[in-house]
Structure 1
Amino acid sequence: MNIKDFEYFHKLVKEKNFSKVAQSFSVSQPTVTLAIKRLEEEFKTTFFIRDRSHKELIVTPSGYQFDQHLTVILNELAIAKKEAARADQEKLLFGLPPIIGNYFFPKIVANLISTGLIEQLETKEAGSEALLKLLLDGSIDFCLLGSLAPLTQESLIADTFAKTPFKIIVGKQHPLAIKKAIHFSELKNERFIVHTEGFIHDKALKMLARHNHFKPDIIYRTNYVHVLKSMVESNTGIACLADLAIAPNDNFAVLDLLDEDQPEFLLSIVRRSTQYMTPTKEKLLKIIHESVYHTPL
C-alpha cells in the first residue's frame, strides 16, 4: 500500500471510471487497476464490481466504507503536509470573522504587541463557515468563530466563551422605530439587508424566517457590517444583527425579538484537536483566552 493507491481509490469512488482517474493523475489505466487490486488483496475484499453489460463500475458497500476512512486519512495527510511546510517558520495563522474581529481583535493585538508575538501573526478574515473549512483543512491554526449551536466535531477543540442575542435594526424614520420589541412574524413585508451567505447572520435570518413560515425579501447582501448599517440608517431596508455588533453611536433604532424559539450568536475559540501545540502556539492561545474573557460584552 502507498498514499497514491489511496488517492486513486478515493478518486475512483467519485468518478467510477478507471480512464478518468488515470487521466486525472497523468498515469496509465493499468497503474490505477493494479493499485485497486493491491488494496483488495490487502484487505481481502472486493471494493468494485465491473458490470460489463451496462458498462459501469459499481462500488460495493465495503468500498464505500473504506472510502469513508480514506477521506479522513487523506485529509489528515493534507493537513500534515501544510503544517510540515510551515513548521520552521513558526507563523501563527489566525482567522476571525469581521464582526467578531472588530470587537475583540484590538484587545488581542494590544496583548500580542506587549508579548512580542505580533510579528509572527498572520490573520485571515472571512465568514465563520468559510473559516471553519480553512481550519479543518489546515490552512489556519486558530480562529474565533460565531455559530448558532456548540461546535461538537471530534476533530475540533472549541471553547465557547460568550453568547449574544440577535436584534432587529431599523432606520430612525422607519415606522417600526417607535417600538422596543417585535415578533419576527411582523416583518413579513419588510425589505432586508443581509450578510453574504456563509455568515452566521445569514443562517440566523433563515432560521427565524423558517420558524415563521415566510421567505424574507432580501434586497441586498454584503460582507461588510458598516455597509449594512449605513443602508439601514438610510432606511433602505432593515437587518438582523447580533447585539455584539451594535455600538452606542449607531444611528438607527434597535428592537428586541420577542420570539420564544430564537437563535443566539455563540462565540468560540476553535482549533484542531490533532494540532501539536508548540510553546509559541500555547502562548498565543493563552493571549486569545485572556483577551476575549476580559472584554466585556
Structure 2
Amino acid sequence: MKIRDLEYFIELVKDKNFSVVADHFQVSQPTITMAINRLEEEYGTTFFIRDHVHHQITVTKVGQQYAQHVRMILRELAIARREIDHAKLNKIRFGLPPIIGNYYFPPLTPRLLRSNLIDKLEVTEEGSENLLQMLLRGELDMALLGSASPLQQPELSVKEFAQYPFHIIMSRDHQLAKKQDLQFADLKGQSFILPDTDFIHEKAFRRMCRLAHIRPKVIYRTNDIHIIKNMVAENLGISFLTELAITANDRLVDLALADPQQPVFHLSLAARHNEILSPAKEKLWELILDYGGKKN
C-alpha cells in the first residue's frame, strides 16, 4: 500500500470526480484510477460505484468507513513528519496562554535556566482553546492550558495541578467595594470590563450569568489584562478574573464570590498521548509539575 494512494483516495471521496483529483495532484487520470483499483483489490471490496452514463461516482458505505480510518492515518503521518523534522532541532514547542504566561510562569524561569531548558523553548502565546487545537494537530509538543472544567481529551496526556477561583475586582471607590458576602446577583446592572471571548473566562462568566439570571452589560473587552485593571482602577467598570491574574500590587478591591457551585480556573499541563518525550521534554514536564505541586 502506498501513502500516495491513500491521499488520492481521500481526495476522491471529497471531490467524487477522477478528473478533478488528477488535476489537483497534477497527474493523469489513469494514475488515480489505478491507485483506487489497487486499494479495492487489496481489500477485496468496492469503495466507489461508477456511473459511466451520468459520469458520477458514489462512495459506498465501506468506502465511507475506510475514509474515516484513512483520514486518521494521514493525519498521524503528517504529525509524525513534523515531530521528526522538529526533533532534529532539539527544541521544545511550548504553548503558553497570556494569563498563565504573565502570572504563573515567570517564577519558573530561574529553574529553567538552571536546568538548561530555557534556550530549548519555542514559545507560542495563544488562548488556551487555540493552543489545545494546535496540540491536537501536532503543532506543539507541550502546553500549559487553562480550562473552566477538568480537561478531558483522549488524545492527550493531561495533568491538572492547580485550581483558582474567579473573583470580582473593582475600584476602591466603587459602591460595592466594602460589601460582605458578595453574590453574582448583586452585580446586576453593573458595567463589566472583560477579557476577550477567546479567554477561558468567557465560559465561566456566562455560566455565572445564567445561574444568577443576569443579562450582563459588557462595555469593553480586551486581551490585555493590564488595560482591564487600569480601567477598573479608574472606576469605569468592574471585572471578572481568575485569582491567578490578581496581585497585591493592583490597587484594586478583590472580592471572592459567595455563590455556591462556582466554576474555577483549572490549570493543566498537556502533551500528545502517543508522543515519546525526549529527555529535555521529560525534564520540562517534571519540572513544571514539581513546581506546581510545591506552589499549591
Which TM-score tier does this pair reach, normalised by the shorter chain? Answer: 0.7 to 0.9
**How many equivalent residue pairs?**
296
Please show how residues 177-192 of structure 1 align to structure 2 within 5 Å.
177-192=177-192
Secondary structure of 2:143's partner?
strand
Contact preservation (8 Å) 1:48, 1:59: yes
CA distance in 1, matches of 2:253, 2:62: 59
Q: How far does residue 223 in structure 1 lie from its aligned partner after superposition? A: 1.8
Separation of aligned partners in 1, 2:111 and 2:57: 58
**Structure 1 position 112, deviation (Å):** 1.4
2:257 is the alignment partner of 1:291: no
Whether the aligned pair in 1 keeps the contact of 2:22 and 2:32 (CA below 8 Å) is: yes
Displacement after TM superposition at 1:56 (Å) = 6.0
8 Å CA contact 2:104, 2:244 repeated in 1: no
CA distance in 1, matches of 2:80, 2:275: 9
8 A Cα contact 1:134 1:140, kept in partner = yes
Specify whether residues 134 and 54 from structure 1 end up closer, same or farther in structure 2 by C-alpha distance, changes over 3 A only: same
Q: Which residue of structure 2 lines up, in the alignment, with residue 167 of structure 1?
A: 167
Q: Give TM-score, length-normalised by structure 1.
A: 0.87
Q: Give the equivalent residue in structure 2 for 1:269.
A: 269
Matched AA of 1:287 = L
Which residue in 2 is equivalent to 1:98? 98
**Residue 78 of structure 1, CA deviation:** 1.3
Is the contact between residue 104 and residue 292 of structure 1 (CA under 8 Å) also seen in structure 2? no
Tell me the distance in 2 between the aligned counterparts of 1:95 and 1:279: 18
1:107 offset after TM fit, Å? 2.4
Say yes or no: does 1:143 pair with 2:106. no
Deviations along 1:232-267, one digit per CA (max 9) or x if unpaired, are: 222333222111111112122223233333211111
Match for residue 74 of structure 1?
74
Mark the CA change 1:74 to 1:236 in structure 2 (over 3 Å): closer, same or farther. Answer: farther
Alignment of 1:82-121 (within 5 A): 82-121=82-121
CA distance in 1, matches of 2:54, 2:259: 55
Structure 2 residue aligned with 1:199? 199
Q: Which moved more, 1:217-226 or 1:19-28?
A: 19-28
* Shift, 1:46, TM fit: 3.3
CA distance in 2, matches of 1:104, 1:219: 28
Task: Check the 8 A contact 1:98/1:127 in 2, yes or no.
Answer: yes
Alpha-carbon separation, structure 2, partners of 1:48 and 1:15: 12
Percent identity of the aligned residues? 49
**CA distance 1:84–1:181, change in 2 (3 Å):** same
AA aligned to 2:4 is K
Deviations 1:104-163 (A, max 9, x none): 322221011112222222211111111111212222211111112222222111111011
Question: Cα–Cα, structure 1 residues 71 and 180, in superposed 2: closer, same or farther, change >3 Å?
Answer: farther
Q: Which residue is 1:129 aligned to?
A: 129
On the 8 A contact 1:158/1:269 being kept in 2, the answer is yes
Task: Please tell me whether residue 208 in structure 1 is matched to residue 208 in structure 2.
Answer: yes
Q: Cα offset for 1:272?
A: 1.0
Judge conservation of contact 1:104–1:295 (CA < 8 Å) in 2: no
Rate the CA distance shift 1:122–1:60 in 2: closer, same or farther, 3 A: same
Amino acid at match of 2:208: L
Alpha-carbon distance change, 240 to 22 in structure 1, aligned in 2, over 3 angstroms: farther
Decide which moves more: 150-159 or 229-238: 229-238
Do the aligned partners of residues 52 and 224 (structure 1) sit closer, same or farther apart at CA in structure 2, a change above 3 Å counting? Answer: farther
Counterpart amino acid of residue 237 in structure 1: G
Gaps of 5+ in 1: none
1:94, 1:124 within 8 Å by CA — same for their partners in 2? yes
Residue 259 of structure 2 corresponds to residue 259 of structure 1: yes
Q: What amino acid sits opposite 1:146 in the alignment? A: G
Alpha-carbon distance change, 244 to 8 in structure 1, aligned in 2, over 3 angstroms? same
Alpha-carbon shift at residue 15 of structure 1 (Å): 4.0
Give the greater-gyration-radius structure (CA): 2
Q: CA 1:44 to 1:170, structure 2 compared with 1: closer, same or farther past 3 Å?
A: farther
CA distance in 2 between partners of 1:224 and 1:30 (Å): 56
User: The residue matched to 1:6 in structure 2 has which SS?
Assistant: helix
Runs of 5+ unmatched residues, structure 2: none
State the secondary structure of the residue aligned to 1:176. Answer: coil
Using the TM superposition, name which of 172-181 and 106-115 deviates more.
172-181
